[in-house]
Amino acid sequence: MRRRDLYDAASGGGGPRLLPWTSPEGKPCYLSTDGRGYLSTLADSIETVQLSMGQELLEYAREATAPGVPTLSATEYRWLARRLTEALADALRVADSRGQRLPDPGEEEVDEGA
């Protein structure tokens, strides 16, 4: 598939989109969309921020745990572990959301044959 086809497939049409936030009760939030509305754009922006923050945090963790670097305190390591856990949860949620919006390979072959 070409990049534009993948974008179109991922931006809607495959059912409700898993959003990058939860309800106040911690339940998943979904959006029925064609991928071009305000909330879709907002969700895309939040996903981008979440992934970039996770990348920055990973770089910090690599630097903080590199050989020869002064050791952090237990409190600092606990903070780092919590932030890494949050970043991993965000990244997995983004991957799940984007994966749900990709077409099944079997559907692609049927469409091409038609």
The boundaries of the domain holding residue 9 are 3-103
Q: What pLDDT, on a 0 to 100 scale, did the predictor assign at position 48?
A: 96
Do 36 and 62 meet the contact criterion of CB atoms below 8 Å apart? no
For 64-75, what is each residue's pLDDT tens digit? 999 999 999 999
Tell me what percent of the residues of the chain surpass a pLDDT of 70: 81
Q: Is residue 77 part of a domain?
A: yes
Domains contained in the chain, number: 1
Q: H or E stretch including 82?
A: helix 74-100
Which are the contacts of 93, defined by CB distance < 8 A and separation ≥ 6?
Answer: 18, 20
For 3-57, what is each residue's pLDDT tens digit? 545 555 555 456 799 999 999 999 999 999 887 889 999 999 999 999 999 999 9
Q: For the chain, what is the mean pLDDT?
A: 86
28 pairs with which residues across the strands? Answer: 22
Q: What pLDDT, on a 0 to 100 scale, did the predictor assign at position 14?
A: 62
Q: 3-state class of 64 per DSSP?
A: helix
What DSSP designation does 69 have?
S
Q: Is residue 113 part of a domain?
A: no
